[in-house]
Structure formats: C-alpha cells, structure tokens
Structure 1
Amino acid sequence: MYVPAHFAPDDDAVRELLLRHGAADLITATERGLVATVLPFVHDPVAGTLRGHLARNNEQWRLPVVGEGLVVVRGPDAYVSPSWYASKAEHGRVVPTWNYVTAHVYGAVEFHDDPAWVGRVVRELTDKHEAGRAEPWSVEDAPAGFVEGQLRAVVGVEVRISRVEAKFKLSQNRSAADVDGVVAGLTGVGDVASAAAVERARR
C-alpha cells in the first residue's frame, strides 16, 4: 500500500481500528485464483491474530491457500467535495478526493472445523458487538440445540498476523481552514463518523 508520511497512523490508532472495526474482507490466493469473503473478525492483540467464521458451504475454506492471506479492514470513508475547502475561494486550485481509514493485515490463514473452537469465536464476536447495549443478547439466550445446529453450519478462520500496513487519509495534508470545511461539510451531509475521524486525525 502506498502510504505518504502524513497519512501514516500511529500504532495506537491501528490497534484501535483492529479492535473496533466492522466486517472485513478475507482474501486468499488459491490454485483457482483469488477468493474473497466479507466477515467480522475478533482481534486478539496478545496472540497476534484475527479470528472469525464463515459458512461451511463457502468453498473458500476448502481451497488450499497459496502464501499468506490478506484481510482488508476499513474504518469510515467519504467523498470530499472541493467546495468545502476555504482555499477554493482563495485560488480555486482544488479537486475532489476521498477520505478513508484502512488497514491491510497479512498472515498465515488456518481454518478450524471444530465446533468448540468456532463456539468460542461466535461468543467473542457476539460479546464484542453486543457490548454497550441496554439489553445485550447472549448466545446462551438461544436454545442449546439450535446453537449446536448453527455451529455445525460454519467453520472457523484464524489469521496469524505477520504485518499490518495502514493508511488513515483524513485531510492531514490540508490547511486548518480546509480541514474545518471538510468537518463542516461531512457533518452537513450526516456523515458524523467521517467527520469525527478527521477531527481525531488533526489532534
């Protein structure tokens, strides 16, 4: 990934993205070519892994992986209009762009066809995404027999992280007045997450 110095995040920002991201793209190279699946992951910073699960009927887990896998993790992203820049009125030399937060996570991929392993990951994912709700749902809220049937329909996946390349392109190369305009513009179109990301990037 091409990462200019002003778009390179610090380790804490990358760690936060990996801990709190939504769904990500698991991409593996196989003898049949590239295969990709969108799925949520749990990041374990101690073990240095991403863990998730995919449908048993998904052929990706049955195809031997050639080399390392790639997980593309994303944060907020948004179109940035040049009309939001203060510099548009000053000299007009502005163009549209796209702001985004992403991390490319590389590592060895292992699939787990083990109900106990998958059960642990399902509970981790559930706890992660139910945390903070007034009445969080738990796997134990569903009948045991139903849960067992659901677990038989999925297999686990684990990516042992070898390296992470991240880029937080959030108007860091613009003047303070232009950044003010971007925050106001994003807020005006209702993209609060992207506006907040731009604000965090300039601190």
Structure 2
Amino acid sequence: MYIPKDFELKDQELILAFLEQHPFGSLAVNGPDGIPAIVHIPFTVEFVNPGKYLEFHVAKENTIVSAISETGRGKMIVLGSHGYISSSVYTHLNVPTYNYESVHVSGKIEQLTQSELKNHLTKLVDSFEANRENKVQMSQWPTDMIDAYMQEIVGYRIEIQQLEAAFKLSQNRNEVDFNRILADLNTGTVNDQQLAKAMKQTKCPVK
C-alpha cells in the first residue's frame, strides 16, 4: 500500500487497537487465474505468544477456500472512518480531498482445528454481544445445531507478519484549517462526525 509519510502510522499498539475496534475486513488471496479471490468477513484479534493473528471463518463453498489452500498467504484490508473534505473550509485556495483510515494485514494463513474453530466462534459471538442488554451465547444453542453449522464453514487464522497503516486525517493541515475541517464535519452526517472524532484521536492519541 502506498502511504505518504505524513499519513503513515507505525505504532503497533495503536494499529492493533484499531483492528479490535473495527472487526470487519476484506480478505484478498491470489487466485489461480491471477485475479484475487476476496471475501468480506468479521474477525477477532488473537495474541498467542509470540505471534499475533486475526481469526475468521468462511463458507466451505466459497472459492477463496481453494485459493487459500494453494497460496497459504493473504491480505486483510480493514477500513475505518472515511469521508469527503471540502476545500471550502480552508483559509486558502486548494482542492478538496478525502480522509480515511486503512490497515492492511499480510501474512501466512493456516486452518483452524474444529476445536479452535468453535473457540473462535464463541469469542466472535461474545465480542459482538458484549454491549447488548439481552446477550446470546453459543452455550444456549443445541449442540447438534452448532455441529451442523460448523460442517458448512472453515476457520482460519492469518498471522500478522506485515502491518501497513494509512491514516489520512488532515495531519498535514495547519491548526486553523484542521479545526475548521472538524467544525464542518461535526455539522454533517453521523459518518462525518465519526471521521471528526477519528481525526481528533489521531492528532492527540490517548494510550
């Protein structure tokens, strides 16, 4: 991924936190025809000494399964906040631009055992149910129902061997223009307001 120096994020702790906050990505794996096979999937971030991984699952019928078997490597692309920045808010003449957060995870992919797949599914459900009032858990479902669903999917983990993070969030703008962009975004859509929040957090990260 091409990343201009102003927008490159190298802090692995912040990048991993971003992945945990945005647990949905697009996995790309080179296919035999030279065209990448792509699937859009939720994932969990796992820390298994000494490695770090993203764990996910796909339908057995998905063509990406054979692509993974052949190459054993892939790239997960995860997007965060993004949106249009109008140059009308600048204090000088300039062109509009587009802000975004993007992380690419590249590495070796290996298949999960059935036991690991079940653990992955449990963690995945628990992570998405965490803030719900009436939580559901896999333990509530009949074993035969879970076993039947598990026969239709394949679990994988991709080792985080290379992390690339581009956070293009107006870091190259002067203080006045930066604040004018924030003010403009905060009068816009929910997505615009989320982008403004991401811009502020990147400018003044809290650890």
- When normalised by structure 1's length, the TM-score is 0.89
Residue in structure 1 matched with residue 78 of structure 2 by the alignment:
73
Task: For residue 15 of structure 1, report the CA deviation from its aligned partner.
Answer: 1.5
CA distance in 2, matches of 1:59, 1:83: 46
CA distance in 1, matches of 2:72, 2:88: 45
CA distance in 2, matches of 1:179, 1:135: 41
CA distance in 2, matches of 1:197, 1:20: 12
Task: Please say if residues 29 and 67 of structure 1, whose CA atoms lie closer than 8 Å, have aligned partners that are also in contact.
Answer: no
Counterpart AA for 1:156: G
Residue in structure 2 matched with residue 198 of structure 1 by the alignment:
199
Counterpart AA for 2:126: D
Counterpart AA for 2:77: V
Task: For residue 61 of structure 1, report the CA deviation from its aligned partner.
Answer: 0.9
Task: For residue 50 of structure 1, report the CA deviation from its aligned partner.
Answer: 0.8
Counterpart AA for 2:20: L
CA distance in 2, matches of 1:14, 1:84: 30
Residue in structure 2 matched with residue 108 of structure 1 by the alignment:
108
User: 83, 94, 116: which one pairs with 2:88?
Assistant: 83
CA distance in 1, matches of 2:104, 2:70: 17
Task: For residue 152 of structure 1, report the CA deviation from its aligned partner.
Answer: 1.3
Residue in structure 1 matched with residue 26 of structure 2 by the alignment:
25
1:1-46 Cα distance to aligned partner (Å, 9 max, x none): 2222321222222111122213101111132231110001111134
Task: Please say if residues 72 and 110 of structure 2, whose CA atoms lie closer than 8 Å, have aligned partners that are also in contact.
Answer: no
Structure 1's 96 and 149: CA in aligned 2 closer, same or farther, altered over 3 A?
A: same
Task: For residue 136 of structure 1, report the CA deviation from its aligned partner.
Answer: 2.0
CA distance in 1, matches of 2:180, 2:142: 52
SS in 2 for 1:65: helix
- Percent identity for Structure 1 against Structure 2: 29
Task: For residue 202 of structure 1, report the CA deviation from its aligned partner.
Answer: 1.6
CA distance in 2, matches of 1:139, 1:66: 32
Residue in structure 1 matched with residue 57 of structure 2 by the alignment:
53
Task: For residue 67 of structure 1, report the CA deviation from its aligned partner.
Answer: 6.3
Counterpart AA for 1:95: V
Residue in structure 1 matched with residue 151 of structure 2 by the alignment:
152
Task: Please say if residues 70 and 107 of structure 1, whose CA atoms lie closer than 8 Å, have aligned partners that are also in contact.
Answer: yes
User: Hey, which bits of structure 1, 4+ residues long, moved more than 4 A?
Assistant: none
SS in 2 for 1:193: helix
CA distance in 2, matches of 1:183, 1:65: 46
Residue in structure 2 matched with residue 15 of structure 1 by the alignment:
16
Residue in structure 2 matched with residue 121 of structure 1 by the alignment:
120
